[in-house]
Amino acid sequence: GKAASTPAKAYAKVGIEREYSTSTPCFANDKPKHYGKKEGAPCRNVRVPEEYGFKPGMLPGFENVAREHGLKTYKDVYRFSLEHNDLFWESCAKMLNWKEPFHTVQDCDLKKGKVGWFLGGKLNVSENCLDRHVAEDPNKIALLWEKDEPGTVQISYGQLLEWTCKMANTLKQARVQKGDCVCVYLPTSPMAVASMLACARIGAIHTVVFAGFSSESLRDRIQNCKAKVVITANEMIRGGKSIPLKQLVDDAVKDCPTVKTVFVEQRTKKEGRYAKHDVALTDALDAASAECAPEVLDSEDPLFVLYTSGSTGKPKGVLHTQAGYLLYAALTQKVVFNLKPGEVFGCLADIGWITGHSYVVYAPLANGITTVLFESTPNYPSPSRYWSTVERLKINHLYISPTALRSLLRHGKSHVKNHDLSSLRTLGLVGEPVNHEAWEWYYDVIGQRRCPVVDTWWQTETGGISIAPLPGDSADPIYPGMAMRPFFGIEPVVKNSEAFADHGSDQAGVLYVARPWPGMLRGIYGDEERFVETYLSEKPGCYTTGDGCVETADGYFKITGRVDDVINVSGHRLGTAEVENAIDSHGKVAESAVVSFPHLVKGEGLAAFVVLTDDYEADEHLVKDLKGLIKHSIASYAIPEEIVIVPHLPKTRSGKIMRRLLKLIAQNKNEDFGDTSTLQDPDILKPIIDAWSKTT
């Protein structure tokens, strides 16, 4: 509950669990392992390349304002964006096509959870992503679908518009109306994009569920958003392995009375069973008209709900709306990546995550460029997959996770060498802190020191990139492993245990954002109170990020990782409470505590400490059963590296589990326990340490 996220606990964690020196922009404990750099070698920084150096003309619609106010540098414009916040966003909003202009730029009161942008304005997101580009050139390539088996399918803007309209009409046929939820459970594919845009076209709300989630996770999400329709495929192939999507949907919708229709795409030849509410998607699309007038929607009509993990057991449905979200996603992509017309954007994330929503689908299409849909994995069929894809698709901007990078650099340069990567201009990173070694490998080996590395910090809740190395002036440096500079209109503040740290004081604390921005979440779907309680109450008027942070004397921000019970496994966000709930549902388990520890590839790994009920002894099946349970109720990536049976958990006198101590045990740092005086009984640590040492 609430106690777990009190600031005091959060700050204690920053100090104790994330030790690093702020005098150097590198992780102090980040010792290069594979890449052959000497331990403790100083970090190199790189300059912002000339062509990326910030010019006000990079902001659409802003040139005149900049001229009038004499704004030239990043710092000028950044300051202006805070001081004249309305004027700034008003001029940037010119990059969207409006059906009706807005009369009010913003109407927000974060203390009350009120967030409203571009009020009175009317538009259609799918029209912004499709029709306006089709009007210019219907043959322009919108999607490059890199399928699991290496090979690419090209889809033009004209074709995508046609599919979107057919899908929109199909949804209407299924009685989906404005404001209804549609669940999309599909691999990263053109049909998934058309489904999302079809919802946007008719004002339905989409909920994309990552197709690696279990049927139970799917069921919970469908139940929470009361979806009327599910769009899925017979199966999905990822990394050469089949995932029986339709079967998982069947299991899920048994308990979802709101679902009236399930559309099934025939992704492979494999036939499946059809139930009464199932409709073959191709038949429905064949019968549908290819024309569908875009619904005229209000700026603040809901666009989508995306479920994400928090500190509590149940994932929450983060709600984003039309205009603010689209503008923020499109603008950040344009500026941070220095986007040019005709470019190919290779964000290789799955569409089931926010990175996929914002930078595979909405931003690239709003900006009218070509976006890559990557259906496979970094290692399939070999660790050169990314690089052969870059070469074949002539990707200009690559946007991947540090985990993928770490898993590839272990295989060495030989997988990179034979590929022509000269199309690359920008190297993006997202999702978790990047270690120094991986950053350097990306810069040296992949970018050949030509391409700036942009380590972008943001969240499902922020809608788009919030802190990133670019924009920056060409005289400014980029430091490895630092998110660096706030995007325009974003006002980050760092708060330590007492108060807000002075800007640039180099103090560790928790990151807040002190004012609203167009891309921020509008709420938690179906739970208004939880919105304020979760995000806006710790420091009223400020948005709580849940991340630790340092602001250096130069005004650069370094993100140090979560300070709450959210963890980042392979760049996937997960709540320890979710995993504990799954483990605790086993009949033999009395209680459990899940903590994370640093993992060379995944960033963070999971360790579960499990206490059995009195009558049971552990047998060889138990750990296997527990793993199965977790896979079944969440997803495979949530399975801990280690599951240890212990006689008890360390608790305070008031009965709280001391996760801090378990975290240290999981890192074999038994000397660092520090003050254990609040422990019920200091001797109880020994059997836990013993049990752990047997596993590693």
Residues near ligand WTA, by CB under 6 A: 308, 353-355, 430-433, 455-460, 483, 546-547, 559, 561-562, 568, 573
- CA distance linking residue 51 with residue 337, whole number of Å: 11
Q: How far is the CB of 359 from ligand WTA (least distance, A)?
A: 9
Question: Within 10 Å of residue 616's Cβ, how many Cβ atoms?
Answer: 14
- Beta-carbon contacts of residue 83 (< 8 Å; ≥ 6 apart): none
Closer to ligand WTA by Cβ: residue 459 or 596: 459
Reading phi first (left if > 0) and then psi (alpha if -120 to 50, else beta), residue 19 is in beta
**Minimum CB–partner distance for residue 565 and ligand WTA (Å):** 12
Residue that the structure tokens 């409006």 belong to: 98
Cβ distance to ligand WTA smaller for residue 355 or 370: 355
Task: Give Cβ neighbours of residue 490 (< 8 Å, ≥ 6 apart).
Answer: 466, 467, 513, 517
Could you tell me how many helices (H) and strands (E) the chain has, helices first?
23, 34
Nearer to ligand WTA, 637 or 673 (CB): 637
Q: Are 337 and 454 in contact (CB under 8 A)?
A: yes
Contacts of 323 (CB under 8 A, 6+ apart): 93, 96, 102, 117, 118, 121, 123, 299, 300, 518
The CB-of-228 to ligand WTA minimum distance in angstroms stands at 26
Q: Between 432 and 578, name the residue whose CB sits nearer to ligand WTA.
A: 432
In whole angstroms, what is the distance from residue 247 CA to residue 262 CA? 12
Using the minimum distance from each CB to ligand WTA, give the nearer residue, 156 or 456: 456
Closer to ligand WTA by CB, 263 or 556: give it. Answer: 556
CB of 432 or CB of 580, closer to ligand WTA = 432
Comparing CA positions, the residue from 600, 582, 598 lying closest to residue 663 is 598
Q: Name which of 261 and 576 has its Cβ closer to ligand WTA.
A: 576
Q: Which is nearer to ligand WTA, 370 or 456 (CB)?
A: 456
Residue nearest to ligand WTA (CB): 460
Nearest to 372 by CA among 352, 391, 354, 389: 389
208 vs 655: CA distance, rounded Å: 39
Tell me the closest approach of the beta carbon of residue 324 to ligand WTA, in angstroms. 17
Q: How far is the CB of 349 from ligand WTA (least distance, A)?
A: 9
Query: How near is the Cβ of 484 to ligand WTA at its closest, in Å?
Result: 10
Reduced to 3 states, what is the DSSP secondary structure of residue 10? Answer: helix
What distance in Å separates the CA atoms of residue 90 and residue 164, rounded to the nearest whole number?
Answer: 30
Q: Minimum distance between the CB of residue 233 and ligand WTA, rounded to whole angstroms?
A: 24
Least separation, in Å, of the C-beta of 545 and ligand WTA?
A: 6
CB 505 within 8 A of CB 554: no
What's the min distance (Å) between Cβ of 229 and ligand WTA?
26
